[in-house]
Structure formats: structure tokens, C-alpha cells
Chain A
Amino acid sequence: MTSIKKPLVDKHLRKNRHGLTQRDYEGVASTLCAGCGHDSITAAFVRAFHELDLEPHRAAKISGIGCSSKTTAYFLGQSSGINTVHGRMPSVATGAAAVNPDLHYIGVSGDGDSLSIGLGQFAHAIRRNLNMLYVIENNGVYGLTKGQFSASADIGSRAKYGEINEQTPIDPVRLALTLGATFVARGFSGDKEQLVPLIKAGLMHRGFAVIDVISPCVTFNDHVGSTKSYAHTYKYYHPVIHADFVPEENEITADYAEGEAITLPMHNGGEVVLRKTDTSHDPRDRDAAFDLLKNLEGSEIPTGLIYIDESRPEMGEMNHLPDTPLNAINHSKLCPRSATLKQLMDGYA
């Protein structure tokens, strides 16, 4: 932890539509290790919210247990949040989204939290197409318990004290695709130019947006032989498709050569401009997404927006939930009297 609080000097900072600077989107000081990838993801959240002109209290942050799950305290200090039980963040998020669809739900989880103890919860949140942004801060180890391999560790990856992993990894990107997720992306904590637009697009996506963010553990998994270190990630890093989020009120001004960019309107407003880098991958094509992952397996780490489908209904629509948050519905409507119950029961008579 730093010896002093980050000083507040903001006279030169840009203010957004609400008159807020980036600093208004920060939380308390991080207690994570210096150099932790998670802190960079935290900074990306701050930037994305500020740039999207979303008011900080319009978000709800939900997390489980682990280094990653601690980070919800480090951004959006003015919004509500819950640290839940290990791996149970999706259930709590489901409940929250069901009763108040007005907030932006941000789930922050790690590879341990999502791919081991919470794997079932993660899978079913995808099936429900829960309207939330789900970020996995993926470092391949249990940092909080001193660096045991997690379920995302690659075969052959070496632990800090020499042990080699021989179990097959769970890749959250492929898992999410298999389960029918409607927004699947991979990022890297070291590349905010890619990550910030992905977070923005994920927040504006209707349905379950999962971003698997490679986020090196500087203390237990940043050595030679690790496949989740900074050096390894930079070496095999391969941005496949770049997603720019363009808010509704802004015109797309950048010039894209024909066939180079795809513009995709987002259900919740704005557009995503997808810019291919060096493959012909079209993220609207699910089979192509599988092929891409298969083709690059073992050689490079494909990143960017891998798959997107804006057409599927999210949980609220599927279940005919009210658009109005329950806290805004008056008491008599929310709690019908016994006469109403009797009327209902009589219908079954």
C-alpha cells in the first residue's frame, strides 16, 4: 500500500457532462501488491465510466472472494456494491438485476472465483443472459493464498517455486461461447487502449457481457515459465479485432477503409465500431469465433471482441420482469392484499 493517499489535484482535468473529473470515479486506495494487473483494470473502469458520462451512483458493483473481488472498493466510490460469498456473485447479481433493472451491474471476479468454486454460478448466469458486465481478472493463480495454480493455468506453466501444471485449463472465453454468451471478449490489463472500449461496449450491451482480462499476478505468477506473466502476455499478445465504442450523440468521424470496419448498433444506445487488425474475423459469427480460438491455440493469445450477439433477449425480458425497479413501485401494487390472493386461489378451484 502507498505511504500517502493519491493527492487530489484536479484543476487541469477534463470534466464530463456531469461536471465530474476522472478522480470522481475513483474509490479508496488499493491494498493490492504494487504492479498488480488488477489495479490497471480498476483504472480502466474509472476511465470507461468517466468517458461514458455515466454518473457513479448509476452502477452496482458485485464481487465474490479473492484479490480481484477486493477491487470493487477501488473504483466508483460513490456507487453501491456487495462483496458476496466465494463464487456466488452471479446469484446475488441475478437477484439485484431482477429487482432493479435501472443500474449498470458490474461483476468483478477472478479465475478462482469463477472457474472453480463458482463455475456453476458462472455457467447459469450466461444461460439466463443476465444483463451485466462480468469481468474475470485472470492471473492463473490463487494470489491471496500464496500462488497455488487456479483452473485457468495452462498445461506446462511453471509455479513460482517450480511445480509444473499438468491439468487442463478452463478457458473462460471458450466456455462462455459454448454456453451461449452474447458478448465474449478478452483483454489484457497492460493494454487500456483496447480494454477501456471493451468495458464501455460491455456496459452498453444488452445481456451477459463477459471480458476475460489477463491480469498478471506480480507476486506469484510473473516469473519465467509462467504463461500469465507480463513478459509472456506481451510476447504472444495478438489483438484480433479492436472495438471502439461510440456514444449515440457522437457521429462516427474516423475514416475506415471499405471492409475494414463493421458498425454495430447497441441495444442500450451508441454503436460499436469493430476494426479488424490482421485477420478476417467477424465477431458476429460464432463458428468463426471457435475457429479463431482453435487456430491460434498454443501459438498466440487472441484478444479483442471475439463474439457479439445483440439480438437475444436478456433475463428480464425472458421472464417478463417489470421495467420499473421494485423500489419505485408503490406498496399496494407490490404487496397485493389477501383479497387478491383469494381471487388468484379461486381461479384454481
Chain B
Amino acid sequence: MGMKPTNTSDPDYFHKVVDCQYACPAHTPVPDYIRLIAQGRYTDAYMMNRRSNVFPGILGRVCDRPCEPACRRTRVEDEPVAICRLKRVAADHRDEVKHLMPEIMPSNGKKIALIGAGPASLTVANDLAPLGYDCTIFEALEKPGGLMISNIPSFRLPEKVLGDEIGYILDMGVKLKTGHRIDSMKAMLEDGYDAIFVGSGAPKGKDLNLPGREDAADNIHIGIEWLESVAFDHIEEIGRKVLIIGVGNTAMDCCRTSLRLGSDSVKVMARKPRQFFKASPWELKDAEHENVEIIVNHSPKAFVTENGRLTGMVFEVMEYEVDDKGKITETRTTGEVTLPCDDVILAIGQDNAFPWIERDIGMEFDKWETPIVDKTTFESTRKGVFFGGDAAFGPLNIIWAVEHGHQAAISIHKHCMGESLTDRLPRSVNLETAKMGPNEWSYSNDYDPDARSDMPEVDLVERFKTLDIEVELGFTPEQIKTEVERCLNCDLQTVFSAPACTECDACIDICPVNCLTITANGGEADLRTRLSAPADNTDQALYVSEGLPNTARVMVKDEDLCLHCGLCAERCPTAAWDMQKSTIFLPHADDELAAYASRRAAE
């Protein structure tokens, strides 16, 4: 049995080829905005970003960047395109954008309450306020932003960047009530809102109950709470010797913040070896660059106190057997050490906590005491109450919170219009030829072998002078110029038309990465072994044509290493290959409203 011809009208097929966009929870059209940056159209690039990820300036600094490990460039050479840094370029160099924000439609009389002023709630407000919804955000802290302000230190994310981008949303007529903690969902439900969105995050940092915990309470801090206190100026100093327990991204923020509050020896203590670290590789690198020491295989055992004051911490030294799949098969303790310290910061994870939601209001909770939330609609089991961000499925990241917000906004809109929440607009794909003339394309198709640019930073003395000196300076004009050319334009698709093929082999011969083959059809596993180069990466699709006119064989393209250079199309004598720009349509709440309006008009 041979493979069926690839269905290129399936919106997911070509979307998957754009690895970065597919990996992004909000599906930001990365190659599209990189081309705009290349043309110096920073404002357009910013607005294109804003459409999908709402916070380009913020995310251009602190995004978790799922796009970068996915980048095709990591397969073709080693380093991905610096996508996140280019996003920052668009934000840093944009002109005034206030007049480009969506027009606000007249009120539709629907009132929405949003709990927590983090990225999820802000996204919901961003999507719904322009459609005429009356949105009110309730925030317990004095400033909006959620963990973006309370947990991300200002040397990574300046308050002005945050303020500007939250400002665009509040300027849409969104009401913000700060210092207003919600204590009762029941009371909220009685307040007459048409829908309630919970974007209150995962606010409970995990504690570590080891011997001595009580005695040394003054000098043991919970990471996210401590960062919040620093952000709101409630804590301004820390001891000279600090131990950070845990090795996730919060730990990285804690250790680097400690260095700025007077500590001169910071050690991050990890229970396991480096390959098990949760922190992003670049955050680890940034911390180590500031001389933070990361110590592996040390499991916390007890806090040591003298005269009621913390003086050190006892660790068990661990040894692990790891199998070839990277799984730990055996754990051994080989000894014990005591490390002296003045303060300990616990950054070992965080949990959702909903003490303020009554359990008798028709909302079901699971065994972890978190509400049951639908993965598509983001609605809880109580109609009209929606969840998103960390509050929905536990700690993720900002970009996921944004996507939850977009989807919840669609649901809230449909809920308010009395429509089915699951009957959502489908994704779709549009293809348009990129051919401008003989061997001329609407994009820069040449491959640029330049290496990834390093981010210029404030030097290692200057940066510690105050807490809010932004470490990363942004790309220089030269760096922008080379980095944009590193993008392989994966959204410029190779599209094949079998009836036009004469089987001359020209495309196969010119392909720089041997990704094309004409061969007899077969099952996928079999075909993968019979191509010009073996197609070992099964995560990447094979593009299989219909039978070719002369021999009934098929054209097979392994999408894995394609450079999107267009040489196949340039060497094709019959234009059987064409380079076509794929645009993925991903509906937002305003698209649903437009569809709703046209359905009503048709009735």
C-alpha cells in the first residue's frame, strides 16, 4: 500500500512546515514579521506580532521561546534564528502605534469580569473590549501585570515596556481595579456579570518542610513571594551568602536578583544532573555569566541554625544511574555536606490555589483541588465561568497564557451571543505564488551561512549598580541585518503539481539538501529508507505527490531539511514546482464576531 497524496489544503500541513509558528502556542507568523523587519517596517512587524501575541515588547525579552528549539535552522546547522531577539527589535524600533489599535465598537451591553491582571486576563480584555464588551479587571496587587511584574525582575523586563503594552489594552476602555482581591466567587457570581474569566495564576510557591525550617523562618524565603516583595520594594537586601534551592527559571531570577541586593556568593542547588534542569538553557547561561555557581546532585536535607539564626544547610550528595533513554534507573546517596549560608530561597515550583472559590456553586474540582476546565473552550463546569493562564492547567508561561486568553475570549463571546462554544471557526490556509518573474521571487531566497548573533549586554560591573538596569541592550543595526537573513522563510512553501512533471530530475539534482526523490510509491516506513537521503526525522512529514504522468512513480519531498531556497522551482522546466507563500488563518474573537454578523445578515 502506497502513501496517499499529501492533502495540501489541510491547514495543518503547511503550518507544520513553518516549525517556529507551529511551535508557538499563539502561532505568531514568525517568518512574516522577520521579513517586515528586514524591510525596516518595524511598526508593521510590531502590529503583526501584537495580533497573535499581544505583548511583543515583553515577549521579545522574556518569552520561553518554544519557537527557537523548533527552528529549522537547528537541523540545518546548529543555532536557531534569534527569533525572540528579533521580536524585541520590532518593539524597540516601532513608531507610535496607538492609532493602529483596533477601533472600539459601541457597547453591546455585556459585562465581563476578569480576575487577576496577568497576561491571560489582559489578552481576553484585548480581544473583547474592541468588540463592545464592558471589561473589568480585578487585581489584588497595586499594579497590573501579574507575574510579569511581580516575578520577572526589572533588569530583564523594564517596567516601562510592561506599562506601555498594558496601557494599550487599558486604553481600550478596560476598567482596572487594583488592590482589589477577590475573596468569594459566589459573591462575584451574584454581581450580574455576563461572564467571568479567572486568570489569577498559580500563586502558591512550594515550601520545603525539613528539620530547622521553623527555627530559621526569617531567612528562608519562598521564591515567587520573595521576587514579588522585591518588585514592590518590600525587600531591599539579602545576606552575603545565598543558596537557591531548585533550578527552574524562577531560581534563575532569584539568584540574579540576589546578586543585585548585596549578595556576593550565590549558589543554585540542584538535586539532579544538568540534563534534568527545568530552566531554559539561555537563562542558565545568563546566570552563570554573572558568576552564579550551579551545583548538581545535592539534595536538601536540613536547615542548620545557631541561636535561632540560619547558618547553613545540609545536603545529601547524590549519584544517579541514567539509561540510554535518559531516564534515571538508580539513585544513591554517597555522603553529606553542609554549606554555610545567610539566606535560602526556595524555587521548587508553584501550585494553583483557589481558597476563594466556594465548592458549592456548581463548579467541579479534580483531586488536586483545581477546577475542571475544558481544553478547547476554557470553560469550567459552571456555565459562564472561564479559566486561562496558569489558573487553568497549572504553571506554563506567558505565551501560553496569551493563547488561553484568545481562546477564552472566543468562548466568552459565543457564550454572550448564545451560541455553541464548540462550534468555532476552522483554521485555514491560503497559498499564493511568490513568483515575480523568471527566477525572481517575492522573498530573499538565498541561504545565508552567518552564525547567530550574540546579544550585547551591559558589562558585569555596571549592571549590578541598581536593580533595574536592563542587562540586554538589543541588537545593533548590523546584527539585525544578518539575523533577519538567517531566517529560512519556511512559509514560502514548495508546492508541486504532478501533471506538469516530465520526470527530468532537474529539481532532484539541484536540491542542496537532497530532500527530493522520484520513486515507486510505498508505505511511509519503507519510503523513508528509499529517498535520496534517508528521512530519519519522523517528526517531519513526507510530501507525496499523485502518480507522475510518464511512469506513475511519485515525487516525494522530505520536509525535514528543506532550505526553502526555491532552486527546485527555478530549475523546473514546466513550473511543476512553485514557491508559494502560505498564510495560516487562525480565528480570534473579532473573526468570530464578523462571522456571526454575516450569519445574522444571511438569515
* A234–B513 CB distance below 8 A: no
B583 at the binding interface (Cβ < 8 Å): no
A9 to B502, CA, bound (A): 28
For A7, give the chain B residue with the smallest CB separation. B447
Separation of A230 and B506 alpha carbons in the complex (Å):
12
**CB within 8 A of B512: which of A6, A43, A216, A230?**
A6
Q: Chain B residues with Cβ under 8 A from A40's Cβ?
A: 504-506, 509
Instruction: Say yes or no: A34-B571 contact (C-beta < 8 A), given A7-B447, A190-B503, A234-B550.
Output: yes
A327 → chain B, closest Cβ, in Å?
35
Q: CA of A338 to CA of B574 in the docked complex: distance in angstroms?
A: 67
- Bound Cα distance A34, B509 (Å): 11
**Contact A35-B76, Cβ < 8 Å, known A7-B563, A230-B504:** no
Question: Chain A residues near B571 (CB, 8 Å)?
Answer: 2, 34-35, 39
In the bound complex, CA of A231 to CA of B502 (Å): 7
> A12, B513: Cβ atoms under 8 Å?
yes
A189 on the B face (CB < 8 A): yes
In the bound assembly, the distance between CA atoms of A3 and B439 in angstroms comes to 6
Of listed B446, B449, B510, B533, residue having the most chain A CB within 10 A: B510
CB distance from A40 to the nearest CB of B (A): 4
Of B502, B551, B561, chain A has the most CB atoms within 10 Å of the CB of B502
Picked from B77, B513, B561, B574, the residue with its CB within 8 Å of the CB of A35 is B574
Q: Cβ of A192 < 8 Å from any Cβ of B?
A: yes
Does B341 make an interface contact (CB < 8 A)?
Answer: no
Name A39's contact: one of B77, B441, B509 (CB within 8 Å): B509
Contact with B along A24-51 (1 / 0, CB 8 A): 0000000001111101101100000000
The reply to whether B550 and A35 form a contact with Cβ atoms under 8 Å apart is: no
Against B, the Cβ 8 Å flags (1 = close, 0 = not) of A1-17 are 11110111101110000
Question: A230 touching B503 by the CB < 8 A rule?
Answer: yes
Would A34 and B550 count as touching, CB distance under 8 A? no
Residues of B contacting A211 in the complex (Cβ-Cβ under 8 angstroms):
none
B504 to chain A: which residues have CB within 8 Å?
35-37, 40, 189-190, 216, 218, 230
Quick one: which of A8, A11, A35, A39 contacts B502, CB cutoff 8 A?
A35
Given A35-B572, A40-B505, A9–B510 Cβ distance below 8 Å? no
Minimum CB–CB distance for B492 against chain A, Å: 14
A6 to B549, CA, bound (A): 28
Report if B127 contacts A (CB, 8 A).
no
Q: Is B567 an interface residue (CB 8 A)?
A: yes
Most chain B CB atoms below 10 A, which of A34, A37, A39, A216: A34
Residues of A within 8 A of B514 (CB): 13
Taking A12-B561, A34-B573, A35-B571 as contacts, is the C-beta distance between A6 and B502 under 8 angstroms?
A: no
Q: Nearest-CB distance from A266 to chain B (Å)?
A: 27
Inter-subunit contact B505/A190 (CB<8 Å): yes
Cα–Cα, bound, A293→B594 (Å): 71
Chain A minimum-CB-distance residue to B509? A43
B445 close to chain A: CB less than 8 A? yes
Which residues does chain B contribute within 8 Å of A190, judged by CB atoms?
503-505
Contacts of B561 in A (CB 8 A): 9, 12
Task: Report if B565 contacts A (CB, 8 A).
Answer: yes
Query: A-side binding surface: helix, strand, loop or mixed?
Result: loop
Tell me the residues in window 155-202 of chain A with beta carbons closer than 8 Å to chain B beta carbons: 189-190, 192
Shortest CB distance B94–A (Å): 32
A43 to B507, alpha carbons, bound, how many Å? 11
Whether A235 contacts B76 by the Cβ 8 Å rule is: no
A192 contact set on B, CB distance < 8 A: 505
**Are A218 and B446 in touch, CB under 8 angstroms?**
no
Compute how far the CA of A40 lies from the CA of B76 in the bound complex, rounded to whole angstroms. 25
Question: Which residue on A lies nearest to B447, using beta carbons?
Answer: A7
Complex: chain B residue closest to A218, CB-CB: B573
- Check: B440 CB closer than 8 A to any chain A CB: yes
Considering the chains assembled together, what is the distance between the CA atoms of A189 and B503 in angstroms? 10
Give the interface size bracket for B toward A: 20 to 34
How far, in angstroms, from A230 to B439 measured CA to CA in the complex? 23
Whole-angstrom distance between the Cβ of B165 and the nearest chain A Cβ: 38
Residue pair A2, B510 in contact (C-beta under 8 Å): yes
Report which of A42, A216, A222, A231 forms a contact with B509, defined as CB distance below 8 A.
A42
Q: A231 to B505, alpha carbons, bound, how many Å?
A: 13
Q: Using A34-B572, A35-B572, A218-B573 as known contacts, say yes or no to A235 and B509 having CB atoms under 8 A apart.
A: no
Q: Is the CB of B506 within 8 A of A9?
A: no
How many chain A residues sit at the interface, stated as a range, is 20 to 34
Q: Is the C-beta of B390 less than 8 angstroms from some C-beta in chain A?
A: no
B491 within 8 A of A: no
Q: Give bound CA distance, A9 to B11, whole Å.
A: 29
- Alpha-carbon gap, A34 to B502, bound state (A): 12
Q: Is B483 positioned at the interface, with any CB of A under 8 Å from its CB?
A: no
Any A CB within 8 A of the CB of B570: yes
Check A231–B550 contact: CB distance below 8 A: yes
Chain B contacts of A231 at CB under 8 A?
Answer: 502, 549-550
Decide: A9 and B563 in contact? CB cutoff 8 A.
yes
Interchain nearest-CB distance for A216 vs B (Å): 7
Return the CB mask of B554-584 against A: 1 if under 8 Å, else 0.
0000000101011100111110000000000
> Do the beta carbons of A7 and B446 come within 8 Å of each other?
yes
Q: Which residues of A contact B502 (CB under 8 A)?
A: 35, 218, 222, 230-231
A residues 213-231 near B (Cβ < 8 Å) are 216, 218, 222, 230-231
Closest to A230 in B: B502
Most buried by B among A12, A189, A192, A222: A12
Shortest CB distance B71–A (Å) = 14
Chain B residues near A230 (CB-CB < 8 A): 502-504, 550
Closest residue of chain A to B445 (Cβ to Cβ) is: A4
Q: Is the CB of B439 within 8 A of A2?
A: yes
Task: List, in ascending order, chain B residues with CB within 8 A of A6's CB.
Answer: 510, 512, 567
Q: Which of chain B's residues have a CB closer than 8 A to the CB of A34? A: 506, 570-573
B344 to nearest A CB, angstroms?
Answer: 45
B570 touches A43 (CB 8 A): no
Instruction: Check A33 against B446 for contact (C-beta < 8 Å).
Output: no
Per-position 1/0 for B501-529, Cβ under 8 A of A: 01111101110111000000000000000
A328 to B437 CA separation, bound complex (whole angstroms): 54
Q: Which residues of the other chain, A, contact B77 by a CB distance below 8 angstroms?
A: 9, 11
Interface pair B550/A8, CB less than 8 Å apart:
no
* Residues in A whose Cβ lies below 8 Å from that of B510: 2, 6, 39
In the bound complex, CA of A205 to CA of B445 (Å): 43
| In the complex with contacts A36-B506, A190-B505, A234-B551, A3-B570 CB distance below 8 A | yes
B-chain residues with CB within 8 Å of residue A13 when the two chains form the complex = 514, 533
Shortest B573–chain A CB gap in Å is 3
- The one of A3, A7, A37 that contacts B440, using a Cβ cutoff of 8 Å: A3
Inter-chain CA distance A6–B565, complex, in Å, is 9
Docked-complex contact A7 and B573, CB < 8 angstroms: no
Known: A12-B513, A234-B550. A4 touches B503 (CB 8 A): no
In Å, the complex CA distance between A37 and B502 comes to 11
Q: In the assembly, what is the distance between CA of A230 and CA of B572, in Å?
A: 14
3 nearest CB pairs, A to B? A35-B573, A7-B447, A234-B550
Mind listing 19 A-B residue pairs with CB under 8 Å?
A: A3-B439, A4-B445, A4-B447, A8-B512, A9-B76, A9-B561, A12-B561, A33-B573, A34-B572, A34-B573, A35-B506, A36-B504, A39-B510, A190-B503, A230-B502, A230-B550, A231-B549, A231-B550, A234-B551
| Known pairs A36-B504, A40-B504, A43-B505 / 7 extra A-B pairs, C-beta < 8 Å | A3-B440, A12-B513, A33-B573, A192-B505, A230-B503, A231-B502, A234-B550
